[in-house]
Amino acid sequence: MKFVFLNIHTVLILMPAIQGLVAQEADGLRLYELDPIETVSQRIALEESFSTFTMPVSALRYEPLVDLQTRNSAESQGDVTIRGGIFENTGFMLGSATLYDPQTGHYFAEIPISPKMLSTATILTGSENAFSGFNSSVGTVNYQWSIIQPIQEVALGFGEDGYWYGSAYGAYVGESEDGNQWGIDAEVSHSESDGPIADGDHDFDRVSLRFQRSGNDSRTDLFFGYQDKFFGWPNLYTPFGVPETEDIQTSLLFLNHRMNHGDFFWQASGYYRENDDDYEFDRRDPGVFNPFEHTTKVFDLAVEGGWTFESWSILAKTEWLDDNIESTSLTFGAFDSRTYLKSSVLVETDWSDDTGRLWSLLGGLSFDDNNRGASDVSPMARLEVTGIPGFGEQSTLYADVSRSTQVPGYTAIASNPAGGLFRGNPNLGREFATNYELGLMTQSGNFTLQAAVFLREDRDLVDWTFVFDVFGRTANNVDIDTTGLELVASYDLEKGRIVLGYMGLSKDEDYGLADVDASFYALNYARHRVNLAFIYELMPGIEIRSDNILRVQQENVLRTAGTPDEAVISSLGLFYFPESLEGLELSLAVTNLWDSDFEEIPSVPASPRQVSLNAVYRW
């Protein structure tokens, strides 16, 4: 059983996508039994990758609540940002634990897990993130382990520029003498390409293996995964016209157990993650400036639990993480290891008024600490009412106030502050974000709407900035007030689905006394971003699926001259399911349909239009 303390984000909007999700009403919070969950998000038409094998980050490419800024491809290197934050403000949670890389947030999405083993991602913001998130002050991408189903699958894809990929997945499910179910599933995948532009090649491999045991009131998952990625791209991290490369190996050993005891549940997660990275500034001259080679190791343990009694509910969580780094270049900080602790507690009470409306009030605190700096206590509170006149019984209006905090990674605090490509600051301290939010959730028949207006006050945010007479980028603090409007609407058609999203952002920044000509990240945002996704069955066995983004970007002097600040980026897929061979799926896909040269990260060339043919067979 899984305790969901803020059900409007994680339940109401995603309810059409959840199969077999059993809800038990309690006097207070709701308990949801995690039966099989579909891995196809209802807000995204094309969760698959069509430039390599699919990774967990692939489904975020067109997620309305996420802005994914890519280098080469989303799967090569993708910075995941939420509500105008930067890549290091976003966490990735699995079970109760946050998958973390202490070197840099660029590697948060290096997750060597087959998406077939995961639930659909939910996006946590506000008090949800303040409670559950770990060292992620703006938002968290939240996954759970899926139930193993006895499905086998092979997939192949081919495209331009020598691109091809292949993957094989298999699962077996059995039952023990005590009536518990056990299963094992595994996947192997490979992908390679000469690249859609010069020096834009890639070579990827991944192995995922999981064992699962589940009973009526418990489930245990034991997982091991390994991923090896090599890829190149001009201006990968710097704006100097140089062909750069990354060579990354990520290993993950993860254990998760959850159990329900009537009105009480608990879940524990633990993992070991190792990330080895070799970055080359110039592939034609390896080792120039510095050999940027790093190995990070992370041990994590997280425990959460919840108890419902009468009209009250209590939810608590503690996460402990220990990291260390071995680096050839990040040697200017005062330390190369750190231990973190975060504990959160939340209390909620529910009541009905004379008109039958349901009210909920929750409040809590989180405590953040580490052995390299001062601790901090952050409050959170939320008031919501369900059953709003004019909107229907399934409508919820809420007000949310929360505060989150985090500390910077090793690239920011341990890079040479006086020279090199990446200039750090060993004196960087704790970052703070306070979020004020009003929102509405409503569902009526086939129509669902999620709306929120928010103000986030970031203080001492660590950004990477650029000065024109300095050869490199510098980590600097900035205070930013971000105002935003967020809308996601969906409608189920007789033979399809359409989803429309909008994010409008405005920022007021203050870098203090720092010398700043441009910002790579904090000021690289869309003032207006519109997402449109649709799936439609043209005729029996034939579907058209498309994801589209219209964006009006904030001007940035780092963007290459002549490239646009406005863009429409689309992907289109035509899918065929032949009746004569059940389980076969054939598709023709086009990414960057309009061949836009918009730079999602300033100075980083866009990936041009690519066409691929794909085949998947399941039995």
In a domain, 613, yes or no: no
515: exposed, middle or buried (C-beta count within 10 Å: 0-12, 13-18, 19+)?
Answer: exposed
In a domain, 299, yes or no: yes
Q: Identify the domain containing residue 410 by its residue range.
A: 2-571+591-605
- Using a pLDDT cut of 70, give the percent of the chain over it: 93
Check residue 287 and give its pLDDT. 81
How far is 122 from 130, CA to CA, in rounded Å?
A: 15
Cα–Cα nearest to 526, from 565, 498, 487? 565
Cα–Cα nearest to 338, from 300, 378, 365? 300
In a domain, 586, yes or no: no
Cα–Cα nearest to 234, from 611, 601, 609? 601
Check residue 37 and give its pLDDT. 32
Determine the average pLDDT of the residues in 562-571.
95
How far is 143 from 141, CA to CA, in rounded Å?
A: 7
Q: Band of the pLDDT at 29, cuts 50, 70, 90?
A: very low
Q: What residues pair up with 341 in beta bridges, in sequence order?
A: 320, 369
In a domain, 583, yes or no: no
User: Cβ(8)–Cβ(1) under 8 Å?
Assistant: no
In a domain, 349, yes or no: yes
Q: What three-state secondary structure class fits 410?
A: helix
Check residue 266 and give its pLDDT. 97
CA distances from 229 to 53, 107, 248, 258 (A): 12, 12, 5, 32
CA distances from 259 to 214, 267, 534 (A): 10, 6, 38
pLDDT tens-place string over residues 103-142:
999 999 999 999 999 999 999 999 999 999 999 999 999 9
How far is 4 from 315, CA to CA, in rounded Å?
A: 9
Quote the mean pLDDT of the chain: 91
Q: Hey, which bits of 540-591 come out as E strands?
A: 542-553, 566-576, 584-591
- Helix then strand count (H, E) for the chain reads 3, 33
Whether this prediction's pTM lies above 0.85 is answered by yes
How far is 349 from 360, CA to CA, in rounded Å?
A: 6
In a domain, 585, yes or no: no
How far is 427 from 439, CA to CA, in rounded Å?
A: 38
pLDDT tens-place string over residues 10-25:
332 233 333 332 333 3
What is the bridge-based pairing of β-strands 22-24 and 496-510?
Answer: unpaired
In a domain, 225, yes or no: yes
Domain count, the chain: 1
Has residue 40 got a pLDDT over 90? no
How far is 412 from 477, CA to CA, in rounded Å?
A: 10
CA distances from 615 to 153, 154, 193, 575, 618 (A): 10, 8, 18, 10, 10
Check residue 420 and give its pLDDT. 86
User: Cβ(142)–Cβ(157) under 8 Å?
Assistant: no
Has residue 27 got a pLDDT over 70? no
Task: List CB contacts of 251: < 8 A, sequence separation 6 or more.
Answer: 112, 224, 225, 226, 272, 273, 274, 275
Check residue 9 and give its pLDDT. 34
Phi, psi of 324 (to 5 degrees): -155, 160
Q: Band of the pLDDT at 354, cuts 50, 70, 90?
A: confident
CA distances from 440 to 270, 411, 430, 580, 615 (A): 35, 39, 32, 46, 41
CATH number of the CATH domain containing 482 = 2.40.170.20
pLDDT tens-place string over residues 237-267:
988 899 999 999 999 999 999 999 889 999 9
In a domain, 584, yes or no: no
pLDDT tens-place string over residues 51-81:
999 999 999 999 999 999 999 999 999 999 9
Determine the average pLDDT of the residues in 197-211.
98
Check residue 3 and give its pLDDT. 35
Has residue 291 got a pLDDT over 70? yes
Q: What residues pair up with 221 in beta bridges, in sequence order?
A: 212, 256
Q: What residues pair up with 576 in beta bridges, in sequence order?
A: 542, 586
Determine the average pLDDT of the residues in 347-372.
95
User: Cβ(316)–Cβ(345) under 8 Å?
Assistant: yes
Q: Band of the pLDDT at 177, cuts 50, 70, 90?
A: confident
The pair of three-digit structure tokens given for residue 500, joined into one six-digit string? 């429309």
What is the bridge-based pairing of β-strands 473-493 and 496-510?
Answer: antiparallel
Lowest mean pLDDT among 223-232, 341-350, 462-471: 462-471
Determine the average pLDDT of the residues in 26-42.
35
